[in-house]
Amino acid sequence: MLTPEDHQRIEAAVVEAETGTSGDIFCVLAGEVSSYREVPIAWGAAIALLVPPLVTAIAFRQVIAAISGGGWMAAQASAIEPQLALTLSAYVIAQALLFGITTLVVSIPEVRRRLTPRFLKRHRVRKAAYHHFAAAKAHTQDSETGVVLFIALVDRQVEILADQAIHQKVGEDLWKEAAAAIGEGMKTRDPTRGIVRAIGLCGDGLKAHFPSSGPREAVDKPLDD
């Protein structure tokens, strides 16, 4: 997570980026946007459904070979019935154990983060970003040039949303460049540098197309973390 000094750097970057523009920049810092409770259950179900059939198929390979080779006798058939019942019981128990153990292991936060599909993280981050974008719109009802940088630090995902007026002027390339700057920063020991650069890029876009017509009023924009 970021330090108080990092928060101060980001807040200062927002103030500087908004100087000279009528637009608004909101930088939202989130930890992990979801608990992803379905991920351990999904992995537990997948392992429980896939592993026992594979083991059973290998165990019964010799029996199948005997039947197909004509070496199967009535006495052998009666003798195999108790083994078959035992095997089926073991199959059910193995499924239950595998489901429980896998679910518990994947529930460990670090393991769950690694095994959570990227598309699911992306979906949850985007959903959270739209929620904060709507809140920002309500905060600045008179502005149609707001930009929200939503950064999920634990998920290592970023979503940048902008009002239609600024998006039509700037286009997609600026947002991609800003998102890339944040992504590159997350790979370093100083992720705040990438965030500050992204804020600066968004500020440059706002200043180019929506310059300020006068001094701005100070607005308190606390960062979420």
Q: What is the pLDDT of residues 115-148, one digit of tens each?
A: 999 999 999 999 999 999 988 877 766 667 789 9
pLDDT digits (tens, 9 = 90+) for 199-223: 999 999 999 988 887 555 555 555 5
- 10 CB-contact burial (10 Å; exposed 0-12 / middle 13-18 / buried 19+): buried
| Residue 51 near residue 102 (C-beta atoms within 8 A) | no
Q: How many CB atoms lie within 10 A of CB 202?
A: 29
| Residue 19 near residue 215 (C-beta atoms within 8 A) | no
1-10, 68-77, 162-171: lowest mean pLDDT where?
Answer: 68-77
Q: Which two tokens stand for residue 73?
A: 């006798």
**Mean pLDDT calculated for residue range 173-184:** 94
Task: Report if pTM > 0.85.
Answer: no
Question: What architecture is the 4-35+117-209 domain classified under in CATH?
Answer: Roll (3.10)
pLDDT digits (tens, 9 = 90+) for 74-112: 555 555 666 666 767 778 888 899 999 999 999 999 999
* Nearest Cα to Cα of residue 195 among 205, 210, 185: 185
